[in-house]
Structures are given as structure tokens and as C-alpha cells.
Amino acid sequence: MKLSQAQRDQFDLEGYLFFPGLFTTEETRTLQSAVPDLYSRREAYNVREKDSQAVRTNFAAHMYSEPFARLARHPRMVGPVEDLLGEKLYMHQFKINGKMAFEGDVWQWHQDYGTWLNDDLMPTERAMNVAIFLDDVNEYNGPLMFIPGSHKKGVVEARHDLTTTSYPLWTVDNDLIATLVERGGGKNGGIVSPKGPAGSMILFHSCLVHASSSNLSPWDRVSVYLSLCAVSNHIRRFKRPEFIAHRDFTPIQHLADDCLLKSYPVSLPWRHGMPASALRTSLEEIRLAA
């Protein structure tokens, strides 16, 4: 899927693109049906909410679940990011975020690249987020919120929040958020929140400041978040476990466009369990060959 010049210009200006209903009901159902089994597992890759057993984030499903391994290679998802970054990509992070009805907690205001820089030593912001809705997203079930244009500030000051939720983030100070929102238009567009049916997709810049509120509604809001990084920009430190920040920098090879409807063969290296090596960490910087 190639982007038009108008879409490229919009991305440069606002830092995100929204594609409502990009994946069909049948394609989305293939992914939805695999989630309950993944969430039921008592594994390190399932991070649960702070005060409940609801799954907040499932990591690395593309390593052990066939439908999500095929999604990780889908041309409708990979192609536009390759187009914007002008380079082959590898999968830096793969999450299925479960903002479950009545229990889904907040995601504080943050930039993803801030975390990738501070924790993983990713050299530059040549990486991109893709969000794919597995449920309908409305104003009540905790939709993503963006500050349009905030990516143009580059990396902003952040603090490591280890207490608010069960998953630590490098979060942005409230005063800076208020400033960024006011610069973005205040009440007239300083915060936007794309909403749409299951199967919708958002591309957003790794420096775009974003957040989401808690889900007090009776409707789940499960979404897949794929973080794609230019191969030349791969991380330089393995401070976090491999199931969170991946260490295989092999370029992603596209499958056919119907790969969510047909069983194309894919590699599932963790099909029979996550290896112990995926839990090992190191604070040493990777030494690159000259």
C-alpha cells in the first residue's frame, strides 16, 4: 500500500495517519478469535493491570501465534511505514493492549521514542508505531489521544514513572502537555482522538505525544500495537527482556495481501515456549563492527 503525496504531507504536519476500516470484518475476526487464548496464559509476556487480573499488554504474539505472525508481515501495515522511512524494517516491539471493559487503566502522556532511547539506546526516531483496532473504538472505551504536531518537538523531557500503572513509562510533565496542547490549537484541535470500527489502523510518529484514559465503559478496547524500526536504526542495548524489545534485526518480508485469510507458512520460534534467553538483559552497549 503506497501513500499519496497528500498523505505524506499530512503525516509530516500532524504526525499520524488514520485509515478507518482498513482491514475487513473477516480479517479482523481472525485476530480477535486468537486473543482469549493468548490472554489466558500465565506467562511473563502477559502484563496484567495493577489491581486486577485483566491483561494490560500481551507482548510478542508474532513469535508464537500464527495469525499475529502473519499480521506482522502484512503489506497493508508494513508498506506505508517502509514508504515513510525509506528503508527496510524490523519488528522492535509487538503488543496486544487490552483495555478491558471497566478495568482498563490509563496510559500516561508519553512519547514512545523517549522510552526506546532511554531504555534501548535506539539511535534516532526512525521508527514508527502502527495501531490496529480489534474492537470498535468510541469516545467511551479509552481511545488513543494525540497532540497533533508534537512530534516536531523531537524528544522532550520525561521522567520514569514506575508507580502509576503496572507498566513503566517515560512520561511527560503536565505543564509541558498543557503547552503542547495550546500550541496545537487548544480546545480547537490541540488534542485529537481517532475513533472507528474494528479493523481501523493508525500510523503515528515515534515522537508524537499520546495517551489514553481508563475504560469505564462496558465495551472492551483491544488493539494491536506494532513498533517498526528502520534496520539501520536498531537498538544498541538489551536492558529490557527480548519479549519486550526484540533483538532480531532481520528485515521483514511481506506476505500476500490475503495473508489473514489464508494460512501462509510463517516462522513461530516460540511456539513451544519462550526461551530463557528472552528474559536475559544487559546494560552494556552493543559494539558494532566497523
DSSP code string of 134-168: SS-B-TTS--EEE-TTGGGG-SPP-EEE-SSSSS-
Residues sharing a CB contact under 8 Å with residue 252, sequence separation 6 or more, in sequence order: 72, 73, 78, 88, 89, 90, 91, 228
Average pLDDT over residues 82-98: 96
- For the chain, give the percent of residues with pLDDT over 70: 96
Q: How many CB atoms lie within 10 A of CB 231?
A: 15
Q: Using the 8-state DSSP alphabet, how is residue 53 labeled?
A: S
Domain membership flag for residue 93: yes
Q: How many CB atoms lie within 10 A of CB 214?
A: 16
Q: Which three cell numbers stand for residue 98?
A: 487490552
Amino acid at 221: R
Domain membership of residue 68 as a residue range:
5-261
- What does each C-alpha distance from 183 to 9, 131, 147, 172 come to in angstroms? 19, 25, 9, 16
Please tell me the distance from the alpha carbon of residue 146 to that of residue 48, in angstroms, as a whole number: 24
Overall domain count for the chain: 1
Residue-wise pLDDT for 188-213, tens only, equals: 989 999 999 999 999 999 999 999 99
Phi and psi torsions of 16, nearest 5°:
-155, 160
Residue-wise pLDDT for 11-63, tens only, equals: 999 999 999 999 999 999 999 999 999 999 999 999 988 777 888 899 999 99
Half-sphere exposure of 91 (CA within 13 A, CB side): 26
CATH value at residue 21: 2.60.120.620
Please tell me the distance from the alpha carbon of residue 37 to that of residue 24, in angstroms, as a whole number: 22
Please tell me the distance from the alpha carbon of residue 190 to that of residue 33, in angstroms, as a whole number: 36
Residue-wise pLDDT for 251-282, tens only, equals: 999 999 999 999 999 999 999 999 999 999 99
Amino acid at 145: M
Please tell me the distance from the alpha carbon of residue 230 to that of residue 124, in angstroms, as a whole number: 10
The mean-pLDDT minimum among 96-105, 137-146, 231-240 falls in 96-105
